[in-house]
């Protein structure tokens, strides 16, 4: 055990000596490994950060949540011309599901309303995102309130003109004052502010609850009607915990077919989109991005591997005399082999660590210029980068190490002289 510890120490010293004594040559040889690791881990970190940001925007939703609409979130076999004939989901269908679906924990109905301008006295905020939904949305999305409350069932059903503001909207209109109880104007009408959401922070695509306001969907129904396909009405359903997902979807499907009077041989005129399916789609897309990035970055690592092999061949040549002396004093072939392999691995890891450091620096600067979106270099990615570096060193150093271990001691000493 002691001899191998000494071997590691000597190999480390030789690697550092190669770096110190041949700075330019070593720098050029390790540059490929550094760039390769920087590219690979940079891509992994960027994709992981993007995935985390996208999933974070759905963090309030349970993975079993279903979204019923006249459009599909993913690929479908239904022809486009037929999909365009599907009627939008109706408020009455939402009410029917609330009454008849026993295994649902919460069901909400929502409409996409165009951005609007909101005013309070002389202050104005434009392009405000409007969330027109029923009161159950508070439970499904697991919203967090900083002040006030969310609108209740009576306000939701009657279409009371009340608003819950995002943090950014509240600050722009009221500063540090309490907005609850204040009257604002929107759609040319008066709305009472009853609550303010906790600050969430901006997302990668600028979408955030901070820049939105929420109102009862029946207010939007009065303004836009129930047959406006551009409002993209949808029913969001959260099943009870432990309910079989397939059976629950079948139950929802049958109830919607019944209320729409769909004949047994006709296809469904709606789509039940699973949030889990959307998550799987994200995983698939990020997996493909990672794969493409790894292929591209692999060429840099290939160049880096040739650089490590080159410096190891030079190292063997420069230390031929020393190798002959070691073998003449009884050093085994495996000792020489291990010594050079360790040196190659250490050199590669040094290049990899430089690449990881550059990724960390780049992530810090990138996070500074992207607001609340954070590039995260995880411990997992750091470990992957270190392991890849070691493997590159091992593969690149194996042939020079074998060549060194097979040198004849007499010829090695004579050549060195």
- Convert the chain into a string of H (helix), E (strand) and C (coil): CHHHHHHHHHHHHHHHHHHHHCHHHHHHHHHHHHHHHHHHHHHHHHHHHHHHHHHHCCCCCCCCCEEEECCCCCCCCCCHHHHCCCCCCCHHHHHHHHHHCCCEEEEEEEEEEEEEEEEECCEEEEEEEEEEECCCHHHHHCCCEEEECCCCHHHHHHCCCEEEECHHHHHHHHCCCCCCCCEEEECCEEEEEEEEECCCCCCCCCCCHHHEEEEEHHHHHHHHCCCCHHHCCEEEEEECCCCCHHHHHHHHHHHHHHHHCCCCCCCCCCEEEEHHHHHHHHHHHHHHHHHHHHHHHHHHHHHHHHHHHHHHHHHHHHCHHHHHHHHHCCCCHHHHHHHHHHHHHHHHHHHHHHHHHHHHHHHHHHHHHCCCCCCCCCHHHHHHHHHHHHHHHHHHHHHHHHHHHCCCHHHHHHHHC
Q: Which residues contact 410 (CB under 8 A, 6 or more apart)?
A: 324, 328
Residue 402 has which token pair? 């074998």
Domain ranges of the chain: 2-57+280-416, 87-269
pLDDT attached to residue 108? 92
Alpha carbons 308 and 313: distance in angstroms, whole number: 9
Per-residue pLDDT, 55 = 57
Predicted local distance difference test score (pLDDT) of residue 276: 67
Contacts of 54 (CB under 8 A, 6+ apart): 204, 282
Q: Which residues of the chain have pLDDT under 70?
A: 1-4, 7-8, 10-22, 25, 50-63, 201-207, 229, 276-283, 286, 290, 293, 297, 300, 331, 367, 369-374, 410-412, 414-417
Q: How far, in Å, are 314, 341, 342, 350, 395 from residue 9 at the CA level?
A: 21, 13, 10, 15, 21
- Residue-level pLDDT at 318: 73
Instruction: Extract the tokens encoding 266.
Output: 């006709």
């Amino acid at each position: 055990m002691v001899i191998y510890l000494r071997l590691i120490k000597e190999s480390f010293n030789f690697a550092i000596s190669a770096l110190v004594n041949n700075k330019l040559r070593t720098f050029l040889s390790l540059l490929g490994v550094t760039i390769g690791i920087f590219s690979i881990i940079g891509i992994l970190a960027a994709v992981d950060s993007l995935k985390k940001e996208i999933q974070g925007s759905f963090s309030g939703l349970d993975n079993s949540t279903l979204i019923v609409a006249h459009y599909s979130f993913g690929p479908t076999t239904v022809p486009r011309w037929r999909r365009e004939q599907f009627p939008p989901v109706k408020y009455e269908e939402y009410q029917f599901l609330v009454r008849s679906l026993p295994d649902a924990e919460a069901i909400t109905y929502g409409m996409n309303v165009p951005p609007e301008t909101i005013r309070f006295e002389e202050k104005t905020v434009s392009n405000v995102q409007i969330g027109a939904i029923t009161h159950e949305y508070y439970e499904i999305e697991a919203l967090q309130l900083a002040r006030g409350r969310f609108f209740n069932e009576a306000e939701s059903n009657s279409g009371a003109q009340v608003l819950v503001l995002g943090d950014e909207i509240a600050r722009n209109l009221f500063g540090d004052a309490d907005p609850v109880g204040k009257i604002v104007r929107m759609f040319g009408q008066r709305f009472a502010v009853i609550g303010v959401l906790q600050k969430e922070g901006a997302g990668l695509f600028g979408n955030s609850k901070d820049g939105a306001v929420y109102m009862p969907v029946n207010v939007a129904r009065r303004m836009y009607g129930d047959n406006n396909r551009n409002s993209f009405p949808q029913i969001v359903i959260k099943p009870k915990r432990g309910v079989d997902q397939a059976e629950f979807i079948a139950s929802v499907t049958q109830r919607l077919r019944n209320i729409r009077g769909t004949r047994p041989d006709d296809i469904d005129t709606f789509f039940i989109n699973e949030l889990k399916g959307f998550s799987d789609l994200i995983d698939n897309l990020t997996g493909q991005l990672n794969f493409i990035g790894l292929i591209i970055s692999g060429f840099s690592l290939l160049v880096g591997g040739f650089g490590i092999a080159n410096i190891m061949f030079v190292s063997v040549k420069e230390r031929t005399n020393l190798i002959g002396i070691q073998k003449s004093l009884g050093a085994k072939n495996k000792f020489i082999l291990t010594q050079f392999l360790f040196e190659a691995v250490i050199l590669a890891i040094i290049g990899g660590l430089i690449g990881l450091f550059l990724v960390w620096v780049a992530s810090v600067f990138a996070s500074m210029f992207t607001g609340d979106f954070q590039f995260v270099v995880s411990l997992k990615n750091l470990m992957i980068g270190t392991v890849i570096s070691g493997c590159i060193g091992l593969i690149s150093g194996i042939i020079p190490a074998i060549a060194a271990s097979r040198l004849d001691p007499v010829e090695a000493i004579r050549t060195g002289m």
